[in-house]
Structure 1
Amino acid sequence: KGSLENMHRELRYILPNEVDLRSIGLTDQTSLNVAISHINSSAKEHLNGKSPFELCEFMCPELAQKLYEFGLQKIEKDEVILRPSVLTHK
């Protein structure tokens, strides 16, 4: 349960409560994919500094490929943004 709460906290960094999500750039599936891609590309202490995407690529490359086909993408660790500005960042 703690891991899920941490993911929820990271989601709220990008998509704060009580904010009109359209006003910060969440307008479609593509923009949601951007937010989820950044969250799943950030290093996690409980994964020994690896990101969920890195773990998925190692443990289940077929699933990773499906995620990428869906529109998610692995973001370089030094380019991960966990703020609402990620939705308008070009």
Structure 2
Amino acid sequence: MSAAGGATRLRSPRTAAFLRAAAVSFAAGLLMGAVYWLLGIRSPAPPLLGLTGLLGIVVGERAVRAACGRWRRPASAARDEDPAPEKDSHP
């Protein structure tokens, strides 16, 4: 058994999916960098500024997702804890 084969078995499916997505993202970035170079176009933002913008996008996306999750959770929890009152059956 090779070391590489053993290492891939230890990764969870979620980690493997992330690594695939990261590799595709990196490859797309390399491709776009090559296209920019071929067309003689300079990057629209300095690298540090561009990375800072991407960080803001990621943080903003996660903040909205977390806020939406907090707003939805109490309503569903309240439904689960306080069932509708049963109708009284009088003879």
Whether the TM-score (by the shorter chain) exceeds 0.5 is no
Task: Point out which structure has higher relative CO (alpha carbons under 8 A, 6+ apart).
Answer: 1
Give the number of the structure whose alpha-carbon radius of gyration is greater.
2
Is the helix fraction higher in 1 or 2?
A: 2
